Each structure stands twice: as C-alpha cells, then as structure tokens.
Amino acid sequence: MQQDNIVVFDGLCNFCSKSVEFIIKQDKKAIFRFAAIQSRTGGELIRQFGMDPNDIKTFMLVKGGRAYIRSEAVLQIVKQFQAPWRFLLVLRLIPRPVRDWAYTLFANNRYRWFGKMEKCMVPSPDINARFMD
C-alpha cells in the first residue's frame, strides 16, 4: 500500500465526514485518499504510527512516510488548497501547543456538538476510488 497523502478520519463523526467532503471539493488535483479509522487500512495506519484506534481523538495525514496529527495535519492539508482557504496557514503563527489544545478541546466535544453516525459514511460512486478499506 502506498502511504502518501492518506487522510485518516473518524468515520462515525458527522463533523469529520463533512470535513472529508470539504477536502474532496477543495482537492482539485485529487491527491488525497481517505481511510476511516474504523476501516482495516485506517486502523493499521493508526497503530503503525503508535496511536490507539480505540481512542479516536485525532485526524491524521500520512504524507512522505510521516504522520501529521491534530492541527498540523489540518495545516498540511490546507497547504494544498487554493485561496481563500490557503490563507488559513496564517494559523502557523500560533504555537503548536496552543493550536493542539484548541484542536483537542474541539475533538473531545465533536460528538456532542455535531452528532455521531451509527455506521461509517458510504462514499458516492464518483469518489469511491479515493477511499481505502
């Protein structure tokens, strides 16, 4: 399995699934692929980079054999977007511990604020090839 530009996300989280849909819309070159943490590939990647697939509190980007998590994963993805979204990179001026604190606060409340699905999202046929099992 080629491990580059893979976004690992919580497939049960409504906000996370909507975020994946947003990434797909912004990813004009279709460089990103996606794996729900609940999938075989997503679980393997989470474990490979030393995280617990049963403690789903992060979003991860695997790029160049490296795992980016929390706010750094988001910023690595945004780097590939066009304006105006690319301007979010200004958030790098905020120290990573502060960004990650805010990220963790959001992650800990995402089910309460946005809800949770009973099963992982099913991608439409036009984007299905970008999802890994």
Q: Where are the domains positioned within the chain?
A: 6-115
Report how far apart the first and last C-alpha atoms of the chain are (Å, whole number). 11
- Per-residue pLDDT, averaged over 83-97, amounts to 89
* C-alpha dist (Å) from residue 32 to 7, 9, 90, 118: 7, 12, 22, 25
Report the pLDDT value the prediction gives residue 132, as an integer from 0 to 100: 79
Residue 1 has pLDDT above 60, yes or no: no
**Does the reported pTM lie above 0.85?**
yes
pLDDT band at residue 125 using 50, 70 and 90 as cut-offs: low
Place 20 in a pLDDT band, splitting at 50, 70 and 90.
very high
Gap between the Cα atoms of 20 and 132, Å rounded: 13
- List the one residue out of 79, 75, 71, 73 whose CA is nearest residue 102: 71
- Of 28, 27, 58, 30, give the one whose Cα is nearest residue 45: 58
Q: How far is residue 87's CA from residue 66's CA, in Å, rounded to a whole number? A: 24
Tally of CB atoms within 10 A around 56: 22
**How confident is the model over 46-53, as a mean pLDDT?**
88
For range 46-75, the mean pLDDT: 88
Tokens, residue 109: 């409340």
